[in-house]
A and B are shown apart, each in its own frame.
Chain A
Amino acid sequence: MNQAMQYIFYLAVLVALAIPLGAYIGKVMNGEKTVLSRVLCPCEKGIYKILHIKAGEQMDWKTYTKSVLLFSLCGFVLLFLLQVFQGVLPGNPQGVDGVSWHLAFNTASSFVTNTNWQAYSGESTLSYLTQALGITVQNFVSAATGIAVLFALIRGLIGVKTKGLGNFWADMVRIVVHILLPLNLVLAICLVGGGVVQNLSPAKTVELLEPIAVDAQGNILQDAVVDVENNTVTVNGQIVEGAEIVTEQFVPMGPAASQIAIKQTGTNGGGYNGTNSAHPLENPNAFTNLLQMLSLLLIPAALCFAFGRNIQNKKQGVAIFMAMFLLLVVAMGVMAVSEQFAPTALNTNPEVDTNSSLYQAGGNMEGKEARFGIASSATWSAWTTAGSNGSVNSMHDSLTPMGGMISMLLMQLGEVVFGGAGSGLYGMLAFAILTVFIAGLMVGRTPEFLGKKIAPYEMKWAVVVALAAPVAILAGSGIAAALPQIQASLHNSGAHGFSELLYAFSSAGANNGSAFAGFEANTVFLNLALGLVMLFARFMPILGTMAIAGSMSQKTPTAVTAGTLSTTNGMFVFLLILIVLLVGALSFFPALALGPLAEFFAGIA
């Protein structure tokens, strides 16, 4: 009961915050006055002046798309060069070398596409300059790009016989200045208040309260009695030869809180520390965990309401939100149940107590932090794969087969259950177009969405948007599975080994970025393949969305009558969910059967 209340609480707070934020975002993108206008508008104007942006100049869909692509290309090239040449560039106190070309390609693709797949470990691979100018900048602008494309689509949907979809540069400035900066400032301060580090000091070394001992290979010795004065270590009364006593610990420092804020709100997911939000200094307690978890889905959820507001049909926004929300609730439910009721192997192990009590969460605690327990970990895992974030507070590799399958499936649906900032919603709208197409025919009308008729042109691009992710994932993982060298990257064998591979490509194809830990992705083939999958799954939908926006804006809406298919009622929500699930299930059922389903049935057999 206590557990169920936690899930409900998380969902309720998310909705309560998303609604007002949605209204705010809607106003910002229409250039209306907001509470922050007085402070921020001068900044916005100043930036326009410096960058010579004519904010009032409307772009047609081709110009807008060109701007998006050009902007992303510049970001990509800059990030690539920064990595390759970081060894000779300033801002490199630790003296790390330049990154290999294929890893640089992979990382540049990853951050430009808002994926934040990391085939490297940040602290040992990237210089401060690369982190600051490359990674952090992309965390902001890749999220902003997704939102900008969404609003271009919204303008296209409400436009009547116009070509203008807004101005990309002005949209980017508005999103960063009015939405991302204030939101992250507040969040970062709260995180600091909760104990997340935020300083510019070098890493510290602190004395351990209780020294520990390791053997010659560096493994921690269990049940060791440490005698610091005599420098001896005894286990079960026997002195261990060659054992070393550890009295100090390395503690990473740096501007973490500010990075973590945008990592969460921008559906980025690239952690400050290697273990992401499972690290005690990145996510120390329940309070910071709640904040970070909410900010995983806050912007994607708020965008649904902003969408409804700006197309002047709030019910439509709510309907789309409901479809996403219900899918999320079901996913969370399955995840929660399968994690709480640990698999047979754990339950029958006499060494493990899987019962839930006042003192422990019970269930499958492998790979989870004791301070978060099952509810907060399962919620996070569902939310981070529903939204295309990819940050973690527990290890997905250690999820139960069902839990692992849910996280994979949420990505394989094309990241439309809230999904990435902007990209999740425009992806879902493409599914809405597919839905009205079939449902519209069934009521005896040629289909229309928001009054605009769906012609072959829109259909063509809607399938591109909706199916880009499955195509990329299937093609990528299909080719990878055929290569013999892929076996070397696997951490596990059998069905779970296959799951690792499938998860990696699902994560890339969904622009998510999370991984089954242990999968060695830093190889030439995987860096290239995953990089290409990320680029394809990001930019094909953007192209499709913009094409739809461009053609929709030039149509006149048809009148609404009793013969019009309603796209705001429960029936439509149900159908939309069905189509999303159907496309996802039909595309991935065979693959899932070989991975998590095989594991699952082996577990219960």
Chain B
Amino acid sequence: MRQKALDKRKMLLRAIKDSFVKLSPKTQKNNPVMLLVYISAILTSVLWVASLFGVGDASSGYTLAIAIILWFTVLFANFAEAIAEGRGKAQADSLRAAKKDVSAYRLASLEDREHVQEVVSSSLQKGDIVLVKAGQTIPADGEVIDGAASVDESAITGESAPVIRESGGDRSAVTGGTQVLSDWIVVKVTNQQGESFLDKMIAMVEGAARKKTPNEIALQIFLLALSIIFILVTMSLYTFSNFAANQAGIANPTSITTLVALLVCLAPTTIGALLSAIGIAGMSRLNRANVLAMSGRAIEAAGDVDILMLDKTGTITLGNRQAHAFVPVDGANEQELARAAQLSSLADETPEGRSVVILAKEKYHLQAPSMESSHMVFVPFSAKTRMSGVDYAGNEIRKGAADAIKAYVQQGGGSFSQECEQVVQNIANQGGTPLVVAQNHRVLGVIHLKDIIKQGVKEKFADLRKMGIKTIMITGDNPLTAAAIAAEAGVDDFLAEATPEGKLKMIREFQSKGHLVAMTGDGTNDAPALAQADVAVAMNSGTQAAKEAGNMVDLDSSPTKLIDIVRIGKQLLMTRGSLTTFSIANDLAKYFAIIPALFMGLYPQLSALNIMGLHSAQSAVLSAIIYNALIIIALIPLALKGVKYREVSAGRLLKQNLLIYGVGGLIAPFVCIKLIDIILVALHLA
């Protein structure tokens, strides 16, 4: 707890320091709106210096106050960005620790294991082959081409349980900086130095590689256009007021200092200051969900996604099937069937096997005999017989798929009845898996294995549907089984007997109808579909090819991650929109503060517009720009956390956000500016 508080303080200090570092013009020019404030701050500072020598149209104390507040406005914006980057920087530091140079043992070729050359990991080239043994750190990203090993990937995933990496198949990718715990592997380096996964990850979490996304650019164009209008408004206001003063025969009451203050108040500085913090925070939220996006664009696309292609196993159903019922056939006793099923599964360590034992125990109160004391001979599952079972007390009990048992029964002279065929068919139709149990070549009945739908998924999918997101279940099951599970889980559609080509085709079809599709994948054969999908999340446990094809990597390799990603994407966009609305809505109150203050000298009747009853012209202007600066600080937590997200339709979301940020944005400044005015007057500052 204390360590955490200490870290927080360190982060805060670093952010404050960075706020000053970011004052360099080079950083400022990236953000046009804040550049305007920056220039305004410089301008008012110069005006202040001039006013010390008696040149100027406003008192030097007032000009100084405006200048100071403007500098703080710039610093607050820098701070917002710095604090958003802070979390990423801390993460990047720990990643860098994993990225130190290590020794690599380069092989001349895969066949020739004799000539091992020890080199520094940074000198490795793409295509080099290295041997990594237990206890050594994998020197570079690569593909396992020989051997198998357990690898500790906690440096990047934070997950301490080791994972298996082996040549061939879908678990062949290894990441530089991770550690081999046991056995050995031969790795072919796939990435050039400086382009490794770890490098990319550091760059991403640090925000160094953060490019402005198209949506961010479009928003910035809008904000810039508003700023240009306000520059024209304030410039023309100077001549207008001069014109009116001429007609009235008095001196122009409008000082440049006040106009600069007005300009900064009107320009959308709130969103301008927080815009990049919102983007970085979105990325950082994704990182905290252990997902690594290859670009900010991918996160935004996640907000747009309206089709989720979800793998059945792990996302919709628990990974394993469970025994659901025993269905006796051919006049067999239910108790007898349960007993046989339990005995045959005693040695079966698979979750399915265990669930059979448990069902028999719980439903039929059958106590399983101890495996050691009894004379049991277990027959393990083999690919040849496709059955498993037990020989016990002279009985031969077998269980297996219907056709395997049919062959077994008929071979022993028994018959596979019509009734049994019917039961098997029924179970399959309901989305279950039938396992037929036979004793001494006589069929006793069928075990109904069922896919267990995860708790709460049905509600989740209903929520998603409300937001206009369709869920598609991807499964290798046959269409009948798939349809039954799909109906039970409440998904909108399913793809049964899914092949990589089938997935690709389906994605293309949806896209041609204008949908945006998100999917998860891990295998090499998923790569084409991943490349085609708009949001493609590759499992970190997957192959290098899959990771290259996707635009995000899920370090946890969790199939449900897709839903979180969509949420983070939407939240990012919503935060951007809501704060823009808030920022623009604020302008109304600022006008009511500043315009009467500006022109009361010229047209005393305009004091009717001073509906806030602000004390004086100076206190009105000061209150407005102090509010303008403070609101940035006040909204930093919201920019970092994101606005509240709920799974409701677009119309309701809009209504909610408009009410909070639109109407709130209209009212808040009236209240706050008045309060600041009262405080300023109480402190005799204005």
Contacts and interface: CB of A to CB of B under 8 A. Distances in A.
Interface of A: 434, 437-447, 451, 454-456, 458-460, 463, 467, 470-471, 474-475, 477-479, 481-482, 486-487, 493-495, 497-498, 501, 556-559, 561-566, 569, 571, 575, 582-583, 585-587, 589-591, 593-594, 597-598, 601-602, 605
B581 A478 contact: no
For the residues of A in contact with B, the DSSP-based class is: helix
Given A474-B229, A478-B239, A558-B514, A495 B244 contact: yes
A594 B599 contact: yes
Interface of B: 214-215, 217-219, 221-222, 225-226, 228-230, 232-233, 235-244, 246-248, 266, 300-301, 303-304, 306, 465-470, 512-516, 569-571, 573-574, 576-578, 580-581, 584, 587-588, 591, 595, 598-599, 602-603, 605-606, 608-609, 645, 649-651, 653-655, 657-658, 661
A598 B229 contact: no
B599 A593 contact: yes
Given A444-B653, A497-B247, A601-B608, A459 B228 contact: no
Given A445-B570, A451-B514, A586-B230, 20 more contacts: A439-B577, A443-B657, A444-B570, A444-B573, A445-B304, A446-B214, A446-B304, A454-B218, A459-B219, A459-B221, A478-B237, A481-B240, A482-B239, A494-B247, A559-B513, A562-B650, A591-B233, A594-B602, A598-B602, A601-B608
A591 B236 contact: yes
Contact of B515 (A558, A590, A597): A558
B147 to A, nearest CB: 46
Given A471-B229, A495-B603, A563-B650, A481 B243 contact: yes
B221 A438 contact: no
A494 B237 CA distance: 16
Nearest to B574: A444
Contacts of B571: 444
A400 to B, nearest CB: 15
Contact of B239 (A440, A479, A557, A605): A479
Contact of A467 (B225, B243, B606): B225
A295 B248 CA distance: 42
Nearest to B511: A556
A459 B218 contact: yes
B605 A441 contact: no
Given A481-B243, A594-B241, A594-B602, A442 B214 contact: no
Contacts of B468: 561-564
Given A442-B653, A562-B465, A582-B584, A437 B232 contact: no
B233 A587 contact: yes
Contacts of A451: 514
Contacts of A556: 512, 514
29 contacts: A438-B584, A442-B578, A442-B661, A443-B577, A445-B650, A446-B301, A446-B304, A446-B573, A456-B217, A459-B222, A471-B229, A478-B235, A482-B239, A482-B242, A482-B243, A497-B247, A558-B306, A558-B514, A559-B306, A561-B306, A562-B650, A563-B306, A563-B650, A565-B650, A565-B654, A575-B658, A589-B591, A591-B237, A593-B609
Contacts of B232: 470-471, 474-475, 478, 587
Contacts of A557: 514
Contacts of A497: 247
Contact of A571 (B226, B242, B591, B651): B651
Given A442-B658, A482-B239, A563-B650, A598 B605 contact: yes
Nearest to A563: B468
A589 B306 CA distance: 42
B225 A463 contact: yes
A444 B303 CA distance: 6
Contacts of B658: 439, 442, 575
Contacts of B653: 442-444
Contacts of A493: 247
A602 B605 contact: yes
Given A475-B232, A559-B515, A586-B587, A441 B577 contact: yes
Contact of B240 (A575, A585, A586, A594): A594
Contacts of B239: 478-479, 481-482
Contacts of B248: 494
A124 B332 CA distance: 116
Nearest to A558: B514
A590 B221 CA distance: 24
A563 B465 CA distance: 9
Contact of B242 (A442, A481, A563): A481
A556 to B, nearest CB: 6
Given A571-B654, A598-B599, A470 B229 contact: yes
Contacts of A456: 214, 217-218, 221
A457 to B, nearest CB: 8
Nearest to B512: A556
Contact of B228 (A471, A482, A562, A585): A471
A69 B506 CA distance: 46
Contacts of A481: 236, 239-240, 242-243
A9 B506 CA distance: 56
A586 B229 contact: yes
A475 B600 CA distance: 24
Contacts of A477: 236, 240
A587 to B, nearest CB: 6
A594 B221 contact: no
Q: Which of B218, B574, B657 has the most CB of A within 10 A?
A: B218
Given A498-B243, A601-B606, A571 B221 contact: no
Contacts of B608: 601, 605
A434 B577 contact: no
A478 B514 contact: no
B654 A443 contact: yes
B469 A563 contact: yes
Contacts of A463: 221-222, 225
Q: Which of A456, A470, A498, A582 has the most CB of B within 10 A?
A: A456
B300 to A, nearest CB: 6
Contacts of A594: 240-241, 244, 599, 602-603
Q: Which of B300, B569, B577, B608 has the most CB of A within 10 A?
A: B577
Contacts of A479: 239
B599 A569 contact: no
Contacts of A444: 303, 569-571, 573-574, 645, 653
Nearest to B577: A441
A582 B580 CA distance: 13
B605 A605 contact: yes
A458 B215 CA distance: 11
Q: Which of A556, A563, A571, A586 has the most CB of B within 10 A?
A: A563
Contacts of A443: 574, 577, 650, 653-654, 657
Contacts of B266: 586
Contacts of A598: 244, 599, 602-603, 605-606
CB-CB nearest 9 A-B residue pairs: A441-B577, A563-B468, A478-B236, A561-B468, A444-B570, A562-B468, A601-B605, A442-B577, A463-B225
Contacts of B577: 438-443
Nearest to A575: B658
A501 B236 CA distance: 13
A444 to B, nearest CB: 3
A586 B666 CA distance: 13
A80 to B, nearest CB: 29
Contacts of B236: 474-475, 477-478, 481, 591
B602 to A, nearest CB: 7
Contacts of B301: 446
Contacts of A478: 232, 235-240
Contact of A601 (B230, B237, B587, B603): B603
Nearest to B653: A443
A593 B578 CA distance: 30
A467 B229 contact: yes
B266 to A, nearest CB: 7
Contacts of B655: 571
